[in-house]
Amino acid sequence: MTGNGLLVQFLIISPLLLVSLVLHELAHGWVAWKLGDPTAKLHGRLTLNPLKHLDTWGTVMLAVTFLGSGGRFFFGWAKPVPISPWHFKDPQRGMMLVGAAGPLTNYFMALVAGGLIWLTYTWSMWLAQTLYILFALNVILGTINLIPIPPLDGSRVLGGFLPREAYARWVTYDRYGNFVFMGLFVVMIAFPVVFDATIGAVLTWTFNLLPGG
C-alpha cells in the first residue's frame, strides 16, 4: 500500500475506533452512575467529548502500530473510567454489570453497523467499506474485552459468579493484569494462528452473517 493510501486508511479507521472506544468507556461510567457510583460523573467522564476519554500513550500506540505495520495491525486504548465499587450495594455484582456494559455496547454497535450494511450495501462501496470496518472494530473490541483475565472486562463478569472468598482473591490479581494482557498481546502478534483461532474465528463467523460473507 502506498504512503498516501495508508494515511487515508488510518484517517478512516481512527475516528471509527475512537467512537467505539469512547462509547465503550462511557457505558462503564453510565452503568456505574446508575448503580450509585458518582465517580465517573465527578471526573467529567459521562460525556461524548473524546478529549475526556483519550489516553496519550494509547493514541500514540495506535498510530505507531498501524503505520509501522503498513496497516496490517493496530493496537490502542482509551483512558479507563474511574470506578469506586464501594458505592454499590453489592460491589461484586456491581462490578460485573459495569464490566459487561462496555463489551455489550460494542456488540450493540456492531449489530447497528451490520443492520446498516444490509440496508445500504448497494448504495455506495465507500459507505459499505466504512460500515464493515466499524462492524469489525466493535466485534474485536467486544470479544477481546470479554477475555476473563484482569484487568479486562471479562474478569469483572467472571468475578460476578465467583464465591465471595474467591472473588476477594480474584480482584487482587488486577495488579498483574497489564503484564498478562501484554503477554497475550505479544503471543497473538508472534503467533498469528492464536489470533486466527480465537478473535479471528469470531470475526469470521460474524462476517458470514453479512452480505458477501
pLDDT tier, 60 (very low <50, low <70, confident <90, very high otherwise): confident
pLDDT tier, 71 (very low <50, low <70, confident <90, very high otherwise): low
pLDDT tier, 179 (very low <50, low <70, confident <90, very high otherwise): confident
d(CA 126, CA 114): 15
In a domain, 213, yes or no: no
Predicted confidence (pLDDT) per residue in 85-120, tens digit: 999 999 999 999 999 999 999 999 999 999 999 988
Provide the residue range defining the domain that includes 130. 3-207
Nearest CA-CA partner of 27 in 42, 10, 45: 45
Is the pLDDT confidence value at 27 over 90?
yes
pLDDT tier, 24 (very low <50, low <70, confident <90, very high otherwise): very high
Which amino acid is located at 143 in the chain?
T
In a domain, 89, yes or no: yes
DSSP symbol at 78: B
In a domain, 65, yes or no: yes
Is the pLDDT confidence value at 212 over 70?
no
d(CA 205, CA 74): 21
Instruction: Tell me if 73 sits within 8 A of 65, measured CB to CB.
Output: yes
Residue 37 grid coordinates = 457510583
Nearest CA-CA partner of 24 in 76, 92, 85, 84: 76
Catalytic residues: 25
pLDDT confidence of residue 167: 92
d(CA 9, CA 101): 29
Average pLDDT, the chain: 86
User: Whole-model pTM?
Assistant: 0.88
Predicted confidence (pLDDT) per residue in 125-177, tens digit: 888 888 998 998 899 889 989 989 888 899 999 999 999 999 989 988 888 87
Is the pLDDT confidence value at 2 over 80?
no
In a domain, 59, yes or no: yes
More confident residue, 18 or 94: 94
d(CA 58, CA 140): 17
Predicted confidence (pLDDT) per residue in 44-57, tens digit: 999 999 889 988 88
d(CA 46, CA 30): 6
In a domain, 212, yes or no: no
In a domain, 75, yes or no: yes
Give the whole-number percent of the chain exceeding pLDDT 70: 93
Nearest CA-CA partner of 41 in 30, 52, 49: 30
Is the pLDDT confidence value at 181 over 80?
no
Instruction: Tell me if 105 sits within 8 A of 78, measured CB to CB.
Output: no
In a domain, 67, yes or no: yes
In a domain, 171, yes or no: yes
Nearest CA-CA partner of 84 in 42, 131, 25: 42
- The total of structural domains in the chain comes to 1
